Each structure stands twice: as structure tokens, then as C-alpha cells.
Amino acid sequence: MSRLLDRPPYDTRDDPTFLAELEALVRHHRAGCAELARIWPQIGACRTAQDVPFVHVGLFKKLRLMTQAPGIRHERLLLSSATTGAGSSMIQLDEQSTQLQSRSAQAILADFVGPTPRPLLVLDGLASLRRQREVSARIAAAMSLRQLATDLHFVLADPDNPASVKWDMLGDILSSSDDFLMYGLTWMLYFAFGAAEPPRVVRERLAEKRFHFVHSGGWKKLETRRIDRAAFDAALLRHVHPDSRVTDYYGLVEQVGIVYPLCEHGYRHAPVWAEVLVRHPSTLVTLTDRVGQLQLLNVLSLGAPSISVLTEDLGRVVPGDCACGRRGRRFELVGRIPRADMRGCANV
Amino acid sequence: MSEHLRYGTTSLGAGVLVLPFDPRACVLAWHALGREMLRHPLPAFTRDEWAYLVSFLDERHLGEIYVANFGEPSAQPPERCAWLARPRGRIALWLPNNVSLLGPLLVVLVSLAGCPVRIKGGTRGADLMSAFLDYAREHVPDGPLKRYLHQQVELDFFDHSDPRHARMAAEAAVRIVFGSVVAATAIEALPHPPDSTGVAFIDRQSEAWIEPKALTIQLLDTLVKVFSIYGQAGCTSPRRVVLLDASTTELSAFRERLALRWGETSPGEPEAYVASNNVMARQLAAALGWDAMCTPANRSVLAVGDTSLPLLDEPMTLHLVSATLEEAVAALPQNVQTLGYAFAGRVRQDFVGAIARSRIKRAVPLAEMHHFGPIWDGQEFWRQLFEIVEFRSQAEEGPR
């Protein structure tokens, strides 16, 4: 159980504790995950975060990696949406880590949306929550706000159709509070809510309600429509009370509970129980103030070896303090590594 | 329409190939284009691809194709004729999405047969076919080949649900498909003339067998080059190298030397997605039991193991194993295509038998693994572009 979780997320960093916990977790995962022991046959002391070995994010699409150890009870399998055609990531969830990850998400998101619980509206269908043994990345993302919610409402009739908002139901829910959280995937939130024209009765009620929209996921579907962040935020906020806000967060499905919301000054911050590095794709040396592959580390995962993941997202670690006041490493998310099909004759 | 008669002698006896143009002029026109290509390369092609295309268009190479199939040309009609060959008719050609040089090479070969061709190009990936066709139409010397390329070669791009697939199949005398088993089966199921011919070149895998004593620096560089061009995406690229009868030490030393040559022959950095995928592939290989390492700059992955380990479907991963000849034959994939080999001296006595017992479709020296030709996947497909008519001259006939 990480001691770091007892501290505010953006407190002064305690790197000795962080590294000691990470090193213990490296040993734990090597002992309990045979594949990992073969991937990391020799490891030295973790004197800095750079010394901590990583698992490439793509490996979770190829193998169902799990760490066996006394006290670890694996529960459901978290599946990402297979957006790149390379299959879904398979993340084995366990009871103990889920508790830690839930505390993490609550602490981080409370710092951005405020600690007061309020009704949470989720742009998904209730059926998505009822799947046995498996949980989608979208539901997992929504559930990261669960601890900040008084109650939960799924507002789509069809989880895959943003045009299926149950406006009548939403209209009724709006009378229950003055403040709401609404979570959706970025593109889903835009098409379901930002670009939609709610019925007049709902529109009138919305105008009086303070919303905090929280969204995550890629912008690809919006880029094709030339919707940038400013247009996105404006589209969401036009229906609701002027004090409403929008928070965009980044996170890996492989590292549930560790989310990186965008601060008021355009940066993302690592909480004290996490760390961010940037590596050059060809040399793997760590970079500062230059764009490279993001490596995300944390001390919250016990049942799957996702404590240190080399992503295929591009980012830049920015030196110095952020004007928002949050301490800890800050970074910019630049995008994904551009891909191209290899020439050959083996595929059609 | 004027017809050109090319006389020659094959195993059937003397005969005549009837074409709508002079085949020698066609060969020379392609050769001239090759010379032009040396001066003005197209950026869509890699250096290696362009160089291979140029060498493919060499007049000796193309002329050999006629000779191999219809004999040495003879100026005089034979006294006794046994056969007449003529183009079979319209050809429909389906190319895969990540097509490399297959499209351009096929068009060159088809042109030698004088058959009109309709090509369905891949809807994703780089379009080398259009690039080459446009270039050839512009730069080939005026004459029959230029007219052929403008009037008889059609190139289209459409998705798998398009009705033009059915039209292509219905009107073609020969259907040529490069693609997956599923794609080839679907195309073969389309209504087509009962006397038409189908040629399917489906997903295949290749490998290389090398004797340790053959491992010179030149051979290592050849292996790097042969693999690097397409990685596993090429059906003629080796996915696995078998070091014949090698010890564990020899295999490890081979990997070290190969990695070193990779760094020497491939300076600079690969695309970020290639490097990143190789980092992942190295870990995947290790997880599955391979002793895997990335070559300099994460350009590729060299995985050392044995024939019992599962091969990775990762574009730039080359598997290195040691095995006896018999073990190598037993470990070949079901869909094996090309075997690239390198022996220290002459080809081993037991090698021919090993190939005969296998499903190998091509066995060529390592450097020639990607060389395309009129025999492919065990089929004399270029010959199938012709009808062979039994045509006996009168002197042959008489009362029996």
C-alpha cells in the first residue's frame, strides 16, 4: 500500500519514497510474472526513475500480463477499444490495486473539479456496466469519477450512438441538483452534447445548471471536422450556466486511476505517486524539453505489471514550476507516434 | 491488325509465337525506359526498389523470358511446326494494399504477353502502381509499347464491395490475385468464364538456410539488405534464418556479427513507429522465450531460439535458430514460399532431396530472394497467359 497516497497529489515530491516503492514493485512483479522475469532478466538498483525498466504499451495488446502473489485477487479484465487496428489492450484488474487506483483518481480529479460530490452523468449505456468479467476502458474512465458522485446516470440509450441521448431522462435528472459532473469520451461528448440541440425544456433547465464536463480520449474524430479545443469547449459550455467548466484528462488504460488533467496553463502534472519521463525512440535516452515517447510510472499496480509503461504517445517534459501552483513533473502531450503500413505483399 | 511471328523450338518441338507486336521491340522499349529511370528516379520508390526495377527491365533479362518459354528466336519458319502460342486474352489483376513492386513487375511481364489488363490496386498504402504506370506512359519511347500502356492497361481503385470486382472476373481470360486466402477465395468465387484461368498468389512466408562457413561479411550485409527492404511484410523476406548444424556458440556469434553489420549498413534512425514497435517486439520475443535484442537505433530485432518457439508476427523481427537440415525441413511453415540459401561451397547433396520433400516454392541464393519472375509460387504463371494451340504443319501429316 503506497504511503504516498496519503499525501495531496501535487505536494512536494518525495522521490526517495517513490523510488523505494517502485523498486519493491519491480521485484514483486518480476517474482510473480514469468513473462516479465524474461523481459527484464537483469535489473540493477533503481537510483533514479530512469533506472526503472519499462513494459512497452503494445505488449498489453499481445499478452495478458498478470502478477501472481499472495493476497492478490484478480477480478475483471479491462479491455481498451481497439482504435488502431492492433487489438485491445488486456489489463488484469485486482481488488487491492483497484482500491489504490480509485483513491488516486479521486484525489487527482478532486483537485480539478472540486471535492464536493454531485450527480455524475455518463455518456454511455447502462448495459456497458453490466458486462460480466470484463470492463471497457470507457466505463473504467467514467468510474474514476465515481468517488466524486452522489449518484450515477447513464444517459445514452445506445452506448455507441452519441445521438441516442435520453433527453427526457436528462431533463428529469436536472431538477435534482444545481451542479453536475458529466463524463464522456472526447468525441462522444462533442457529438452527444456539444453539437446537439437539446429539446427546449431541457435547454432551459441546462442554462441554470453548473456543469463540470470531464473528457478523455483522442481527438482524431474531431480533427477531421477541424474542431479544436476552444471550439470544443465553447460547444459544450453554450448550453449551461456560465460558471461551468471543462476538464480534459489524459491517461492510459494500462494505468487506471492515474490521470493527467490539463491544468489552466496548458500542462499536465504527475502526482506524487507517479512520474513521467520522455525517451528518444531510437536511443531510449531520457529527454528534457524535447519531444519523445512518454514513459509513465506509478506505484499503484500490484496485479499487473503496469507500474512503468513506455507509451506510443509523444510528449515533452517541461522544466520549471507551473503557474497553476501544482508541483511535480509537468509535461505537454503532443500526440501519437505517426504510423505507416510497411510495404510488402503479405497483407491485403 | 498486324501480327508478329516469332519462331522458336521448345520441348514440344518447333513452333510459332504470335503476338500483336514485335517482342524484341517491346523488350528494347522497356530497356530504354530502364536507362531513363537511372537518370530520373521517382521519389515514391526506395533506392533499392528503383534499382531492382531498372535491373528487371534489362533487355537480356526480359529477352530470356521469351527464350525460356518459347525457345531461341529463329528468323526462318520451321519446316515442321508442332505448336502455335497466342495471348490468352484479357487479364484481371488484383494487387494487395501494401503492394511493393509486384504491380509494376506484373505489368511488365503481362505486356510481354500482349494481353490487355485491368488492375485493381490496393485502396490503402503507397500507390507505386499508379506512380510507375504514369512514369512509364510518359517516358517509354513512342511505339507499340507506349500505345499498349495507354490503351490496354487500366488501373482502378475501389473497395471490396464494389461491383467492378465481378465485372473484372466476368470478362477476364486470366485472373491473377495477390492477397490473402480469404481475398483469393472470394475472387475465385465470382462468376467467371468456364474456360478462364485463375492464378492465386496467397499469403506466404519465407526463410533462409545458411551454413556457418558461408558467413562472410558480404553475406551478412546481404542478409541485412534482403530482410530490411520489407521486413516480414514481404512474402519473400526471411522471417527465420536457420544456421545449419550450428552450435549455440556459433548461433550467438552470428547474431552479434549480424547486429554489428546492421549498425554499419543502416546508419541513421528509423521512423519512430518502427523503433517503438521493435522495442515492443523485443519484449514480446523475450516473454515468449526468445533471447532477443534490438539492433542499433532499434532498427530491428534479432531473436535467437530454436525451432520449437513460436514465430512473432512483428514487421522487423528476424528469428535466428540452429537446426539440422531435416529439422529445418520439419519446421518449415505450411505456407512456405521462398528459401534463400547460402552454402560455403557447392550445394549440399542432401539439399535437393530436402527441397523435394518440402512445400518450398522457390529455392534461390540469399541475394535473389526478392527476385520476381515468370515462375512464381510453383506455377509457370507467365506461360499461362498464352494458349498453346496444337498446330502441325502439313509435312507432318500423312496416312498411318
* Tens of pLDDT, residues A29-67: 999 999 999 999 988 888 999 999 999 999 999 999 999
Which run of H or E residues covers position A76? strand A74-79
pLDDT > 90: percent of chain A: 78
Region of B89 (left: φ > 0; alpha: ψ -120 to 50; beta: rest) is left
Q: Do B283 and A39 make contact, defined as CB atoms within 8 angstroms?
A: yes
Which pLDDT does position A81 carry in this prediction? 73
* Whether residue B129 is found in the same domain as residue B210: no
pLDDT score of A93 more than 80: yes
Contacts of B96 in chain A (CB under 8 A): 345-348
B128 chain-A contacts, CB cut-off 8 A: 343
CA-wise closest residue to B340 among B264, B242, B221: B242
Instruction: Extract the C-alpha cell encoding B36.
Output: 531513363
Q: From CA A112, how far away is CA A267, in angstroms rounded? A: 13
Amino acid at A100: L
Answer yes or no: do B179 and A348 touch at CB < 8 A.
yes
Whether residue A39 and residue B287 make contact (CB cut-off 8 A), yes or no, is yes
Closest of B361, B385, B368, B367 to residue B109, by C-alpha:
B385
The CA distance from A203 to A113, in Å, is 23
Domain match, B314 and B335 both: yes
CB contact under 8 A, B233 and A345: yes
Chain B residues in contact with A39 (beta carbon < 8 A): 283, 286-287
The answer to whether residues B258 and B167 belong to one domain is no
* Interface residue of A66, A285, A342 to substitute, partner B, most B CBs within 10 Å: A342
Identify the bridge partners of residue A298 per DSSP, sorted by sequence position. A274
Q: Which residues of B touch A283 (CB under 8 A)?
A: 297
Distance CA A49, CA A45 (A): 10
Contact: B98, A62; criterion CB under 8 Å: no
Does residue B235 sit at the A interface (CB-CB below 8 Å)? yes
Q: Are residues B197 and B239 in the same domain?
A: no
Q: pLDDT (tens digit, 9 = 90+) per residue, A208-255?
A: 999 999 999 888 889 888 999 999 999 999 999 999 999 999 999 999
| C-beta atoms surrounding B349 within 10 Å | 7
CATH of the domain at B234: 3.40.309.10
Least confident of A125-134, A152-161, A183-192, B209-218: A125-134
Other beta carbons within 10 angstroms of residue B63's beta carbon come to 17
Q: What is the 3-state secondary structure (H, E, C) of chain B?
A: CCCEEEEEEECCEEEEEEECCCHHHHHHHHHHHHHHHHHCCCCCCCHHHHHHHHHHCCHHHHHHHHHHHHCCCECCCCCCCCEEEEECCCEEEECCCCECCHHHHHHHHHHHHCCCEEEEECCCCCCHHHHHHHHHHHHCCCCHHHHHHHHCEEEEECCCCCCHHHHHHHHCCEEEEEECHHHHHHHHCCCCCCCCEEEEEECCEEEEEECHHHCCHHHHHHHHHHHHHHHHHCCCCEEEEEEECCCHHHHHHHHHHHHHHHHHHCCCCCCHHHHHHHHHHHHHHHHCCCEEEECHHHCCEEEEECCCCCCCCCCCEEEEEEECHHHHHHCCCCCEEEEEEECCCCCCHHHHHHHHHCCCCEEEEHHHCCCCCCCECCECCCHHHEEEEECCCHHHCCCC
Check whether A24 has a pLDDT greater than 90: yes
Output the pLDDT for position B307. Answer: 96
Domain that holds residue B247: 205-368
Among left, alpha and beta (phi > 0; psi -120 to 50; other), residue A279 is beta
For B113-142, give one letter per residue: b (16+ CB within 10 A) or e. bbbbbbbbbbeebbbbbebbbebbeeebee
Nearest CA in chain A to B291: A38
Q: What is the domain count for chain B?
A: 2
Identify whether residues B52 and B102 lie together within a single domain.
Answer: yes
Say whether both B239 and B112 belong to one domain: no
CA distance A122 to B293: 45
**Beta-carbon separation of B96 and A345 below 8 A:** yes
pLDDT-wise least confident of A77-81, A130-134, B215-219: A130-134
- Distances from the Cα of B43 to the Cαs of B97, B132, B153, B229, in angstroms? 19, 11, 23, 16
CA distance B75 to chain A (A): 41
- B128-139 vs B23-39: helix axis angle to the nearest 10? 110
ipTM of the complex: 0.93
- In this predicted structure, the answer to whether residue A85 has a pLDDT above a threshold of 60 is no
For chain A, the residues whose C-beta falls within 8 A of a C-beta of chain B are 35-36, 38-39, 41, 55-59, 62-63, 281-284, 293, 310, 312, 314, 337-348
CA-based nearest residue in chain B for residue A294: B276
**Domain check: are B184 and B85 in the same one?**
yes
Sign of CA dihedral B245, B247, B252, B256: negative
Under the phi-then-psi rule, with left for phi > 0, alpha for psi from -120 to 50, and beta for the rest, what region is A205?
A: alpha
List the single residue in A57, A59, A337 with the smallest CB-CB distance to B273. A337
Cβ distance A345 to B234 less than 8 Å, yes or no, reads yes
Cβ separation of A56 and B283 shorter than 8 Å? yes
| Mean per-residue pLDDT over chain A, rounded | 91
Q: Report the pLDDT averaged over residues A337-344.
A: 75
Same domain, B209 and B196: no
Classify residue B321 by burial, with Cβ atoms within 10 Å: 0-12, 13-18, 19+. Answer: buried
pLDDT of residue B179: 85
Q: What is the pLDDT along chain B (400 residues), one digit of tens a residue?
A: 578 999 999 999 999 999 999 999 999 999 999 999 999 999 989 888 899 999 999 999 999 999 999 999 999 999 899 999 999 999 999 988 766 788 899 999 999 999 999 999 887 666 789 999 999 999 999 999 999 999 999 999 998 889 999 999 999 999 999 888 999 999 999 999 999 999 999 888 999 999 999 999 999 999 999 999 889 988 899 999 999 999 999 999 999 999 999 999 988 899 999 999 999 999 999 999 999 999 999 999 999 999 999 999 999 999 999 999 999 999 999 999 999 999 998 888 899 999 999 999 999 999 999 999 999 988 899 999 999 999 987 755 555 4
Q: B360 with B232, same domain?
A: yes
| Rounded alpha-carbon distances, angstroms, from residue B109 to A174, B102, B112, B114, B134 | 71, 10, 5, 9, 17
Which residues sit opposite A268 in a β-bridge? Answer: A262, A331
- Checking if the pLDDT of A346 tops 50, the result is no
pLDDT for the residue numbered A347: 39
Measured between beta carbons, the chain A residues lying within 8 angstroms of B270 are: 282
CATH code of the domain containing B20? 3.40.605.10
DSSP string across A106-158? HHHHHHHH-S--EEEEESS-GGGGG-SSEEEHHHHHHHTTGGGEEEEEE-BSS
Residue whose cell numbers read 503481362 = B110
Residues B171 and B71 in one domain: yes
B181 touches chain A (CB under 8 A): no
Locus of grid cell 474456360 = B195
A318 pLDDT exceeds 50?
Answer: yes
Question: Are B149 and B33 within one domain?
Answer: yes
pLDDT attached to residue A343: 66
Same domain, B199 and B209: no
In this structure, which amino acid lies at residue A9?
P
Domains and CATH numbers, chain A: 3-336 (3.40.50.12780)
Contacts B273 to A, Cβ<8 Å? 312, 337-340
B97–A341: do the CB atoms touch at under 8 Å?
Answer: yes
Q: Please, which pLDDT band fits residue A80 given cuts at 50, 70 and 90? A: confident
Per residue, the 3-state secondary structure of A292-334, as one string, reads EEEEEEECCCCCCCCCEEEEEEEEEEECCCCCCCCCCCEEEEE
The Cα–Cα gap between B89 and B192 comes to 14
Residue contact B233–A343, C-beta within 8 A? yes
- Segment holding A168, helix H or strand E: helix A167-174
